[in-house]
Chains A and B, each alone.
Chain A
Amino acid sequence: MKTQANIPDPDAFHAAWVEAHEGLSDAESADLDARLVLLLANQVGDQAALLECIAAARASV
């Protein structure tokens, strides 16, 4: 799992992510993020990294 900065333009990514939620209900927003997780997971394509990411997300609760 990569934890060093690897997003080329973090601010632009954040802006696009936030804008994608504009005008959605809270439930629609949650669904959007779930779809986004699936799409990004397929970009990663590395089973060990994906499982580590799930564990890291869970650990931050």
Chain B
Amino acid sequence: MTAAETWTFAPACALPHWPFVAPPDLATGDRIRYPVVIAGGGLAGLTLACDLARRGVRAVLLDDDDTVGVKGASSRGICYAQKSLEIFERLGVYERIRDKGITWSVGRTYSGDDELYTFNLKDDSDSEQPPFINLQQFYLEWYLVDRIDELAGTDLRWKSRVTAVRDEEEGVVVEVETPAGNYALECDWFIDATGANSRIRDALGLELNASRSTDRWCITDVRFKVPFPVERWMWIDAHFNEGRAALQHLMADDVWRLDYQMDEQADPETISRPEVVGARLRAQLGPGVEFEFVWIGPYQYRDHLLERFRVGRMLFIGDSAHVVSPFGARGGNNGIQDAANLGWKLALVLEGNAGEALLDSYNDERHAAARENLVVAKRTTRFLAPRSAAEHRIRRAIAALARRHEFARSLTNTGRMAQANAYPPSAWAEAGARSVQNVAFDGTTLMACLGEGTRFLGIAVGADAAMLAALEPIGSAWPIDFRGIDAASPLAAHLGAAPGTFVLVRPDAYVAATLVDATPARIESTLRAALAMP
């Protein structure tokens, strides 16, 4: 290392700022009532606002800032999973994300220079969307804001901080602080999407079940041009990081996310000094590679799981409800998927087309998903940060055998990438609900079929005209469209549905039921259950 090396930081990405506009509530002095109020314009809140806008529900979104992204951080989330991308396709922002982002599907795990384990997520995909796209979180939020503005109907209120929330008999009362004064508004349903440190959640005194890791990492976002493969690379013991773990992953604008595991006892200030980080980076990249820092962020991950995601007329989505360690991209993606689970349910309840109990299914389904994500993410962190000599020994054994034997590779766990969680059996879906990919079929796609309004899709495999005619009255009485598909259709293959099978697909592209030899009466009763209608 030469003493002459200097370290430069890239200028901050120019983000848009939106103006504070004094809302009508300030002028009237009376409390105005709205169907839905969302606090927090991050990934989860903006996805929900966009989803509701697409469904014609007029929501108010309150954000304490006037821009996107996390204060003081270049980008938190970077990996967007297929289910999230399919949701964005339905919302009309996917193409922008694809054009700006980095599409990938291969991940490799190394021990030293030896490759231990490889996955290619494309192997399990029938979707129009790729398994993953990497993109700085603020771009995604920016595109969502633009799309919400384009769809109209949503009231985005910047520089508006929620100071108190009360679930009263007539509705939820929300106190808001703005540069032009304070006001209160009222709503049928209040959504807290203000993130991991939600003061709204804390003020309600809800049980959080939080824990914090001793494992310490340092994110180093760096811009450089080296033709590394566009893959997720992770070392369990990198020689350029004193034998500790490291991650390398590309996002937009030639910015690489390099994440280094640090000594647990290390001082966060010291390890994030540019000269310390620069030396580490030089060890990884070798001499002669020019780079500039974008962001250095030391952290210890934490997790929490809110006891209930619905409390009366208040619902909690995204990091406010659940936080897991970052390996596997189960944070942001699950905030997005919370929003997609809740959007159609809120819309149908507000329209009177579903029973209010359907909102309990938001809690049941997404809480189960969060529990599963917590278990999966904890296993990864346990593999990445062995806690005892015995755990180190087990990992050395796995790594040694994985070099020679296929079976041991599956025990190498540097992150199990986010998938659309299956939901457990419930009153709304007797056999549970599982996600359907955005399959192209008969000149359309599943997302195109689910794009307008809020309607279920009843897929009748090999149905004749008489069967479809018999279903027509159900389509007039309930929010459902029917479609006959051929048994040879790619969608039938993806669903694993034989001729004569009826598949009930929810507006969030989850299968609520698969019925063999279904009658119109049975289809109607299954749909009523899925809508929580008596």
Contacts and interface: CB of A to CB of B under 8 A. Distances in A.
B376 interface: yes
A10 B404 CA distance: 17
B31 interface: no
Interface of A: 2-7, 10-15, 17-18, 21, 24, 26, 29-30, 32-33, 56-57, 59-61
A60 B379 contact: no
A21 B379 CA distance: 15
A21 B390 contact: yes
Interface in B389-420: 389-391, 393-394, 398, 400-401, 403-407, 409-411, 413, 416
Nearest to B403: A60
Nearest to A32: B390
Given A14-B383, A60-B400, A2 B407 contact: yes
Interface string B363-394: 00000000000001001001100001111011
Judged by DSSP, the binding face of B is helix
Contacts of A29: 388-390, 393
A18 B389 contact: no
A8 to B, nearest CB: 10
Interface residues of B, number: 23
Contact of B382 (A5, A12, A15, A26): A15
11 contacts: A2-B407, A3-B405, A3-B406, A5-B406, A13-B411, A15-B379, A29-B388, A33-B393, A57-B401, A60-B401, A60-B404
A3 B390 contact: no
A6 B407 contact: yes
A14 B407 CA distance: 13
A60 B398 CA distance: 10
A22 B393 CA distance: 13
B407 A4 contact: yes
A7 B410 contact: yes
A10 B413 CA distance: 9
A33 B389 CA distance: 13
A31 to B, nearest CB: 11
Nearest to B399: A60
Contact of B404 (A11, A14, A56): A56
B388 A56 contact: no
A11 B388 contact: no
Contacts of B390: 18, 21, 24, 26, 29-30, 32-33
